[in-house]
């Protein structure tokens, strides 16, 4: 923990262990990257993938965000919303969640082998098992893709679980209270209209689970 990663409000919800951070990153599809360019703050949603002790972000080599943040300070966040917490008072409504905040300076991944590993990690993060089924990137496609690595060193995790926490007097109220759990669920896959006939959807598409 550092001074800037110390959770101030409800500090008992703060966790600083790598396993907790890894678990959030491995479940997430999307992170938000915060950075400052010419004094203006930006927070941009993007895909992320963890490999060991780094988080990768990637995109077009022309991306303004990716060019702007190489070796510059960023703040990456991930949020998983686990439930809606319905209290007896409007005031005590809340959410159950797991969230992660990472500070650091992303480095440009230049070595081709690491870049390929990172791209495989992105593919696997989205759909486990997909990478081996698809055409691998060409040299031209690799050149058109920027990959940045943010070390998982300075971070905090915050978690809320459990029922609402109402004021004592409000437990006597005739109002339903509890949690509506939320989860990300996939619907049936929709085939590409240009799919060649006779190709069945793979099980990682028909039975997609996160």
Ligand X SMILES: Cc1cc2nc3c(=O)[nH]c(=O)nc-3n(C[C@H](O)[C@H](O)[C@H](O)COP(=O)(O)OP(=O)(O)OC[C@H]3O[C@@H](n4cnc5c(N)ncnc54)[C@H](O)[C@@H]3O)c2cc1C
Q: For the chain, how far is it from start to end, CA to CA, in angstroms?
A: 29
Among 47, 95, 126, 182, binds ligand X (CB under 6 A): 95
Contact between 5 and ligand X per CB under 6 A: yes
Residue 176 has phi, psi (to 5 degrees) of -65, 140
Rounded to whole angstroms, the Cα distance separating 30 from 156 reads: 17
Among 25, 119, 158, 208, binds ligand X (CB under 6 A): 158
The DSSP code for 152 is S
Q: Which of residues 97-116 bind ligand X (CB under 6 A)?
A: 97, 99-101
Contact between 7 and ligand X per CB under 6 A: yes
- Give which of 49, 53, 5, 51 is closest to 30, Cα–Cα: 49
Task: Give the CA angle between residues 155, 124, 97 to the nearest 5°.
Answer: 40
- Choices 110-118, 124-132, 156-164, 175-183 (CB under 6 A): range interacting with ligand X: 156-164
Contact between 79 and ligand X per CB under 6 A: yes
Contact between 182 and ligand X per CB under 6 A: no
Q: What residues line the site for ligand X (CB under 6 A)?
A: 4-9, 79, 81, 95, 97, 99-101, 156-158
């Amino acid at each position: 923990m550092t001074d800037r990663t110390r959770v101030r409000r409800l500090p008992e919800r703060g966790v600083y262990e790598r396993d907790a951070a890894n678990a959030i990153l491995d479940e997430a599809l999307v992170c938000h990257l915060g950075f400052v360019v010419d004094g203006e703050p930006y927070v941009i949603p993007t895909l992320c993938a963890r490999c060991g002790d780094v988080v990768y972000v990637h995109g077009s080599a022309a991306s303004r965000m990716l060019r702007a943040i190489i070796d510059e300070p960023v703040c990456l966040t991930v949020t998983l919303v686990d439930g809606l917490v319905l209290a007896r008072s409007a005031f005590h409504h809340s959410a159950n969640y797991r969230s992660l905040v990472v500070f650091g300076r992303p480095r440009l991944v230049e070595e081709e082998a690491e870049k390929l590993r990172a791209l495989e990690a992105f593919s696997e993060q989205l759909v486990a098992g997909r990478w081996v089924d698809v055409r691998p990137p060409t040299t031209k496609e690799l050149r058109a893709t920027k990959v940045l690595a943010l070390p998982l060193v300075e971070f905090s995790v915050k978690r809320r679980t459990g029922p609402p926490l109402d004021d004592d007097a409000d437990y006597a109220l005739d109002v339903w209270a509890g949690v509506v759990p939320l989860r990300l669920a996939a619907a049936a896959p929709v085939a590409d209209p240009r799919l060649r006939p006779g190709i069945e959807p793979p099980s990682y598409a028909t039975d997609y689970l996160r």
